[in-house]
Structure 1
Amino acid sequence: MIVRPFKALRPTKDMVSKIAAKPYDVVTEEQAREVAKNNPYTFYKVSRPEINFEHSADTHDPKVLETGRKHLEWLKEQGFMFVEDKPAFYIYQQQWRDHVQTGIFATFSVDEYIENKIKKHELTRKDKEDERALHVKVVKAHTGPVFLMYKSQPEIDHLIMKHATGEPEYDYTDESGVRHIVWVLKDENEINKIAEAFKNVEAFYIADGHHRAAAAVRAAIDFRNENPNYTGEEEFNYFLAALFPHNQLKILDYNRVVKDLNGNSEEEFIKKVSEKFDVTPIDGVYKPESKHTIGMYLNKKWYKLVPKTGTYDENDVIASLDVSILQNNLLAPILGIENPRTDKRIDFVGGILGIEELIRLVDSGSFKVAFAMYPTSIDDLLKVSDEGKIMPPKSTWFEPKLKSGIVVHLI
């Protein structure tokens, strides 16, 4: 596999905490606007250029995207960001609560994505691909890193970890309590050792950022069509990502809340659920403790749900996921939610918000019932990807998230 150094456009030390921002797709337009009110340097002005307008603007409009490019140029012109003098790898460590993960910012091959050597587990939406591909083309940069992982190999892990020492280039803690530390690696011998080691790796896996990856590839194909004599070395043939060993990553639960019981009384609903699950009332709060345990919160009461024998095929990696078991045995047949991607009666709550958010949503009357899930495992995700299958929607919530704006890949 190809892991390629690049000359990043990146903030000066004193500006990184002001510029860096969450991924564009985990904040709403209003949240991004709120940050920008107090912070004129925020990278949201690049990644969410609609906030550069007083009212909502069409993110498919090149004129809107052009303001993102101009903000990036302004950050560079004012000396808040600069271009690295030579190609580098950027060792990236995140510390959150008791969790630490150490990886590498680099660029990755569009062709290896096309050849499915960079494996996916999620469907992408064409409209979102269109928007982000246009963003790449207008801004002429990959502004948000794709989140990649590889199956851990001690010798490769060590090659990266040995550079996560000494005085870092960046070291700051963000508004979510995540500490971001970056070391810049420019030594050509050390860069070559890392690049050579990865050549023996069979595949990379997308953990998060499927739309960012697909959009980078779409933009690259357009650039190639516009430049038929391309050599393959142009920057548009590679996209920005952060790569981590799989055994350092953390998936949180991705929970569900539903607005009504589909015409059932609470008694009827629990009776129907009991046909497919062993239902146990719980005193106090219940958080699933293992795979194939699901928490249900209804009318200020918690229940433990355990799927009965025969409700799923343990040998089918997709069917045996807890999110599939819930969907196939409860959400679809009892609550009538056939397509959770499009049904307005269901919403999804990332585990970062905690069980308390499920209780709040139901107790507020906004939703009738909540389901607390046990996190999907990294091993299940790798297996799904290796089998070329697709995870059900909202199966994984990786935390901590990668920051955008720490390094930018210019095209």
Structure 2
Amino acid sequence: MAIIKPFRALRPQPALAKEVAARPYDVLNSAEAAAEAAGNPNSFYHVSKSEIDLPDGTDVHSEAVYLKAAENLQALRDAGTLFHEDQPCYYIYKLVMDGRAQTGLVCVSSIDDYNNGIIKKHEFTRPDKELDRINHITYTRAQTGNVFLAYDDVPELNTIIDHWQQRHAPVYDFIADDGIAHTIWVVDEAATGEQITELFATKVPATYIADGHHRAASAALVQKATNENIHSSANLNYFLTTIFPASQLAILDYNRLVKDLNGHSKADFLSQLEYDFIVEPIGHHEQKPSMLHEFSMYLDGTWYRLVAQEGTYTTDPIGILDVTILQNNVLDKLLGIKDPRTDKRIDFVGGIRGLGELVKRVNSGEMQVAFALYPVTIGQLFDIADSGNVMPPKSTWFEPKLRDGLLTHLI
């Protein structure tokens, strides 16, 4: 069963929440972060993307960047922009995007649960990305990035969270520049907190990482390294999470772009595709896939509908995924991309950017062909995590995303 607990968040003064809030560090590059933070000394990008305050060309993984992050975090505390909660609390975090709401519980989750498989994973992590987060946590002494977890709905928990929202005013309530609404309530009543802790301990057998595998792995590695040297703060035994009921979550498509046709002519490539797919030209208008095992392909100014034929996939949790079908039958078989995690000829675009981004990059000549996929379902994600398998890289894109800086866990 899941072990969670309340914590004393480091958080902004209510009037400054919108200024502080920053998109997750890994969804934008340094130049984009610098542009968003321009003229705003309270932006949390000064902590999460601290290279924006260093000379152009600074290695984003250099010690100078992590030292600057620690310095900037302390400066926000010294200025009173951020303050440390007086007592451990749970926090309710509601996001609304395009009229769809999802509400999660912000807490700290047990690293023992992560190590013991109570918190289930569906992706491999990369050592270089782990090291980046390890250094950021170590230098700042804070977990600034939130791990997005999901769980099978528990009606009693939904009721508690709904009632709290109805009976209490939020501490933060703003609409970010991208139109996403962020509302946060502080659950500072001990009896309610105890109920929440107990329900997770008795009704939630597992939680699932939706987004934040590297943040979770890094927190566990920091705890292991520190505790091997000296028994340290109990805060290290937990990491910052926001946990959402599965029924409220939506997964967007995660699409692929490839630089070339691996020596095939256009005619030959289309002909080869017909061995494994029904191939139908659909013209110049964008059209998203409408069901599993259907793909949209953009090539030489034309969209095509591809439908996987029987025999191109298996029914096991991994084999049935559209990302697997595309990888095995197109990216590997025809385009020679064996490992999409390391091959420089492939790139990935989250569905939040729309199909227009695929058209733009192919038409520019940067890429030659694009593939749009039908989104993975939350049920597929749970099935794969339960089976102990991992998804192919870049399989899921969750929106809306939590903001950094609103709730930080100090270690």
TM-score, L = length of structure 2: 0.97
- Within the candidate set 201, 206, 210, 1:203 is matched to 206
Q: Which residue of 2 aligns with 1:169?
A: 171
Partner amino acid for 1:373?
L
Q: Which residue of 2 aligns with 1:236?
A: 236
Moved more, 183-192 or 259-268: 259-268
Confirm or deny: 8 A CA contact 1:96 1:178 kept in the other structure.
yes
Task: Give the 3-state SS of the residue equivalent to 1:335 in structure 2.
Answer: coil
State, as a whole percentage, how many aligned pairs show the same letter: 45
Q: Which residue of 2 aligns with 1:272?
A: 272
Given the superposition, is the C-alpha separation of residues 360 and 61 from structure 1 closer, same or farther in structure 2, using an over 3 Å criterion? closer
Confirm or deny: 8 A CA contact 1:2 1:195 kept in the other structure.
yes
CA–CA distance in structure 2, aligned partners of residues 109 and 47 of structure 1: 23
Residue segments in structure 1 that go unaligned for 5+ positions in a row:
none
Confirm or deny: 8 A CA contact 1:160 1:194 kept in the other structure.
no
Q: Which residue of 2 aligns with 1:37?
A: 38
CA–CA distance in structure 2, aligned partners of residues 136 and 106 of structure 1: 17
Moved more, 54-63 or 255-264: 54-63
Moved more, 282-291 or 142-151: 282-291
Partner amino acid for 1:13?
P
Q: CA deviation at 1:49?
A: 2.1
CA–CA distance in structure 1, aligned partners of residues 385 and 271 of structure 2: 36
Deviation beyond 4 Å, 4+ runs, structure 1 = none
Confirm or deny: 8 A CA contact 1:6 1:87 kept in the other structure.
yes
CA–CA distance in structure 2, aligned partners of residues 266 and 108 of structure 1: 51
- Encode CA deviations 1:51-97: one digit per residue, 9 max, x unaligned: 22112334444443122112111111111111111111110000000
Partner amino acid for 1:28?
N
Q: Which residue of 2 aligns with 1:82?
A: 83
Confirm or deny: 8 A CA contact 1:50 1:56 kept in the other structure.
no
Task: Give the 3-state SS of the residue equivalent to 1:409 in structure 2.
Answer: strand
CA–CA distance in structure 2, aligned partners of residues 137 and 370 of structure 1: 40
Alignment of 1:206-221 (within 5 A): 206-221=209-224
Q: Which residue of 2 aligns with 1:386?
A: 386
CA–CA distance in structure 2, aligned partners of residues 324 and 224 of structure 1: 39
* Number of residue pairs matched by the alignment: 407
Confirm or deny: 8 A CA contact 1:102 1:161 kept in the other structure.
no
- Encode CA deviations 1:162-206: one digit per residue, 9 max, x unaligned: 222342100011122110000001000000011100002111110
- Within the candidate set 223, 226, 235, 1:223 is matched to 226
- Does residue 192 (structure 1) correspond to residue 194 (structure 2)? The answer is yes
Q: Which residue of 2 aligns with 1:55?
A: 56
CA–CA distance in structure 2, aligned partners of residues 157 and 361 of structure 1: 43
TM-score, L = length of structure 1: 0.97
Q: Which residue of 1 aligns with 2:400?
A: 400
Q: Which residue of 2 aligns with 1:250?
A: 250
RMSD: 1.2
Q: Which residue of 2 aligns with 1:127?
A: 128
Task: Give the 3-state SS of the residue equivalent to 1:38 in structure 2.
Answer: coil
CA–CA distance in structure 2, aligned partners of residues 59 and 29 of structure 1: 9
Partner amino acid for 2:43?
T
- Encode CA deviations 1:103-156: one digit per residue, 9 max, x unaligned: 111001111111111110001011111121121111001011111111112122
Q: CA deviation at 1:39?
A: 1.4
Q: Which residue of 1 aligns with 2:366?
A: 366
CA–CA distance in structure 2, aligned partners of residues 30 and 268 of structure 1: 40
